[in-house]
Structure 1
Amino acid sequence: MNVSLQNIDKVSAQLTVKLEKADYQGKVDKSLKSLRQKAQIPGFRQGMVPLSLIKKMYGKSVIAEEVNKTLQEAVYNYIKENKVNMLGEPLPNEEKQQAIDFDTMEEFDFVFDIALAPEFKAEVDTKDKVDYYTIKVSDEMVENQVKMYTQRTGKYDKVDVYEENDMLKGLLAQLDDEGNTKESGIQVEGAVLMPSYMKNDDQKAIFANAKINDVLVFNPNVAYDGHEAELASLLKIDKAIAKDVKSNFSFQIEEITRFVPGDLNQEVFDQAFGEGVVKTEEEFRAKIKENIAARFVADSDYKFLIDIRKVLMEKVGKLEFPDALLKRIMLLNNEEKGEEYVAENYDKSIEELTWHLIKEQLVESNNIKVEQEDVLKMAKETTKAQFAQYGMLSIPDDVLDNYAQEMLKKKETINNLVSRVVEVKLAEVLKAKVTLENKVVSMEEFNKMFE
């Protein structure tokens, strides 16, 4: 076997592999013997089929398979051992690659086109100034989180006078044009209303300061802006006819229910952060603010990577790529989309490839490594962030472990976690190398940066 690489230019090369019979014949013989042991052919006991018959039946396909395996191993080993920085996969040379005939040939020459990564140097230093945005944790964010906890321990009380957000229960009856209860009209006993959710302010105002036993007249169709799903739910009728019911209805109030949030007490503090971690409302709010700020760090780092990407791309400049070869590779990977897709998306793919190469170089030059414990930690942090969205800030370690282990059962999830670990570590390294222009912004201002 002979494998050689000839550079065509700075970013492309030809890889030639010459296979002789001795390179693959041993594997062919082994495969044929294995087939002989397994073959079940009428007239022969298993394992007793003549080898000559096996060769006649399967010889060509076995040779093709073993030559292909040997070829792939040769290419892979050469690229790995010689540290060839290849882009994409090797493609058969369209001019020099001869047709292969396994019936007549015993020696084979393979010629591949290889796309090489361009050489460049990616680095930053203190002369590079990059904005770093810290998202301000507003009082409203903290208050919303506090409300989430107090609502969990809240209760429903029966009251006599309606206030906004109260729930009403009573008898709903359809009226005729004269304002009387319509004979054979729609009636719903125990109908539940929350006027706060009505879309029409005039209809909503009808219920202001209403009391038990009051009889109020309103128009559901107007109140809910003709939304058939809401009307059907309230009137207990089919959606198909709900939007056509435009009558006024009377509503006799039988019950008014009000949700009363729970108190901020030690029980709530312990549920949120663990027993005895915080002991006062002031400490509780401070801890919530601290947790929200910690979650925002990932967003700030994400924006930092976007901004430093621009800096690095400008410093590296436009790189030389073997465009024709890369377009062939792109077309091969997107055959069903065709050449038009390649033409429309090639420039964008080159931009992403450039950034990918820059990141790879930075990871290597800064000795960034991803260990198993890093991936597990990221899985736990991802799980904690998901729970935090629902106000669950103190999750037992065994629960986090269980969720994290489930995430690590999926290869795609592991790849995503590894990528996130790399970005977190890369952001930390680069933040220490450049000069950060620290800026504090609101969540609204931060989000506008991505519009």
Structure 2
Amino acid sequence: MAVSIKQTSDVAAVITVQVSAADYQPQVDKALKNYQKNASIPGFRKGHAPLGLIKKQVGTSVKVEEINRAVVSALFGYIDEEKLQILGNPLPVEDAEEYDFATEENFEFSYDVALAPKIEAKLEKKDKLTYYRIVATKEMEDEQIKRMLENAGKQIEADTVEDNDVVYGRALELADGQPKEGGIEAAQALILPRFTKSEAEKAKLIGAKLGDTITFEPFALYDGQAPEIASLLQIEKEAVPALDGVAFSYQITKISRREAAELNDAFFTEAFGEGSDIRSEEALRKNIQESFAEQFATESDFKFTRDLRALLLKKAGKIAYDEALLKRIFLARNAEAKVEDLDRDMPQIIDDITFDRIKGQLLEAAGVQISDEDLNKFALIVAKNQFAMYGMTSVPDELLENYAQSMLKDGRTKENLIDRVADSKLAAIAKEAITVTEKEVSPEEFNKLMSEDTKA
């Protein structure tokens, strides 16, 4: 088997694989004999059909399969042996010669390959970037403490309705101010004032006392939203439109309220455990600040990596690619991709390829590799941050570990995490190689910076 390469440009080449019968026939004969052993053909005992009959039935398809196997092995073996750096996978050349595999023995297959261009982009001390460290505001600390105290609180029964209460009552459909005969009646109608849609209707509830009876319009209270109204009155959603403008009486039978815990030893023990050092508001705020800092570090690193990417792309300058070939490669890899979308997105795709090449070169030059330990640690950070988004800052380690491992089991998510770990390692290299100025910003200021980046 002969393999040769012809470079058609600095960034493209054609690799040709020449195949003769000697390269594949032994494998074909072996495959046919294995097929014969297991073949069940009418008129013959299993495994005793004549080899000639087997060849007639499946000979050509087996031949094609073995030729393809030999060609692919030779093609990628050549790429590895010659240490060719290519983008994507080789593609059969357009208008390739067609063969009659049943009768011909010698074949020649040619493949277009996109060669990775040489890119020069070094990090130097004269390069300057800012690292934006996000600092939580006191208002954020206060809100987090409030949330933690509410979560650690208990349900109590109240006498007067407030916005965050859960109100239970008996709802009766009215006609001319009186209970309607055969009308709708819900003995356990539940209302959460903070989730209602009409301020005017909600005002009838707020301040009402246990045992009071108010008159309201459920349709207006929830702005005609059928699921909420049907749930309140325990009716079918199809019956809701007819209730537009219909009044109901509502006798309040119970007011349930979440009473926040107090900031005391009992709270600290419940939230952090008996042996925890957190036993004061000052220590709690410090813990919250540390949690926010850990959560925000990922965002700060993302911003820094994005700025670093822009710096490296600028230093690399304009890089030539065989864009027509790259489009063919992308279309072959994704059958749903559209040419017009590729035309629109090509500048971004080119930048992505260039940055990935630079990143790979810099990591390789620094001898950096991504281990399973690196990946597991980063997955735990991502898991912890996702729980923190919902105010869950004291998640058990076992739950975090299980969630992290579930992310790593998803192929696409794992690839994304590997890429982000590579970015973080590149950022660490850059912080040593260039001049970095650290600046503290509030979350609001940081979001403004990110918004400006998006517009740029």
TM-score (norm 1): 0.89
Q: 1:350-369 alignment to 2 at 5 Å?
A: 350-369=350-369
Q: Distance in 2 between matches of 1:242 and 1:147?
A: 38
State the partner residue of 1:218: 216
State the partner residue of 1:202: 200
Post-superposition offset of 1:408: 3.6
Q: 1:216 to 1:102 in 2, by over 3 A?
A: closer
**2:125 maps to 1:126:** yes
State the partner residue of 1:428: 428
What SS is found at the alignment partner of 1:134? strand
State the partner residue of 2:227: 229
Q: Is the 8 A contact 1:274 1:394 kept in 2?
A: no
Identity among equivalent pairs (%): 43
User: Amino acid of the residue matched to residue 136 of structure 1?
Assistant: V
Q: Is the 8 A contact 1:227 1:243 kept in 2?
A: no
Q: Distance in 1 between matches of 2:153 and 2:327?
A: 62
Q: 1:10 to 1:260 in 2, by over 3 A?
A: same
Q: Distance in 1 between matches of 2:194 and 2:108?
A: 79
What SS is found at the alignment partner of 1:206? helix
State the partner residue of 1:382: 382
User: Amino acid of the residue matched to residue 80 of structure 1?
Assistant: D
User: Amino acid of the residue matched to residue 101 of structure 2?
Assistant: F
Q: Is the 8 A contact 2:308 2:427 kept in 1?
A: no
| 1:161-201, Cα deviation, whole Å (9 max, x unpaired) | 33443333333333444x44444443433433344444333
User: Amino acid of the residue matched to residue 211 of structure 1?
Assistant: K
User: Amino acid of the residue matched to residue 303 of structure 2?
Assistant: K
| 1:232-278, Cα deviation, whole Å (9 max, x unpaired) | 33333333332442133333333333321122344543454454232
What SS is found at the alignment partner of 1:137? coil
Length, aligned pairs only = 449
State the partner residue of 1:139: 138
Structure 2's unaligned 5+ residue stretches are none
Higher mean displacement: 348-357 or 6-15: 348-357
Structure 1's unaligned 5+ residue stretches are none
Q: Distance in 1 between matches of 2:57 and 2:188?
A: 80
Q: Is the 8 A contact 1:198 1:223 kept in 2?
A: yes
Q: Distance in 2 between matches of 1:320 and 1:70?
A: 33
Post-superposition offset of 1:90: 1.9
**2:279 maps to 1:279:** yes
What SS is found at the alignment partner of 2:231? helix
Q: Is the 8 A contact 1:271 1:394 kept in 2?
A: no
User: Amino acid of the residue matched to residue 239 of structure 1?
Assistant: K
Q: 1:110-189 alignment to 2 at 5 Å?
A: 110-177=109-176, 179-189=177-187
| 1:333-358, Cα deviation, whole Å (9 max, x unpaired) | 35555544443333332232222222
| 1:20-57, Cα deviation, whole Å (9 max, x unpaired) | 32222221222122112222223433333333333333
State the partner residue of 2:71: 71
Post-superposition offset of 1:413: 3.4
Post-superposition offset of 1:286: 1.2
Q: 1:73 to 1:271 in 2, by over 3 A?
A: farther
Q: Is the 8 A contact 2:126 2:435 kept in 1?
A: yes
Q: Distance in 1 between matches of 2:102 and 2:423?
A: 52
Q: Distance in 2 between matches of 1:268 and 1:36?
A: 76
User: Amino acid of the residue matched to residue 21 of structure 1?
Assistant: A
Q: 1:324 to 1:250 in 2, by over 3 A?
A: closer
State the partner residue of 1:241: 239
User: Amino acid of the residue matched to residue 226 of structure 1?
Assistant: G
Q: Is the 8 A contact 2:135 2:440 kept in 1?
A: yes
User: Amino acid of the residue matched to residue 234 of structure 1?
Assistant: L
Q: Distance in 1 between matches of 2:387 and 2:90?
A: 46
User: Amino acid of the residue matched to residue 201 of structure 2?
Assistant: Q
Post-superposition offset of 1:83: 0.9
| 1:70-114, Cα deviation, whole Å (9 max, x unpaired) | 11011101101111011222223346x433232333222222222
Q: 1:399 to 1:159 in 2, by over 3 A?
A: closer
Q: 2:189 aligns with which of 188, 191, 203?
A: 191
Higher mean displacement: 376-385 or 308-317: 376-385
Q: 1:39-50 alignment to 2 at 5 Å?
A: 39-50=39-50
Higher mean displacement: 288-297 or 148-157: 148-157
TM-score (norm 2): 0.88
State the partner residue of 1:52: 52
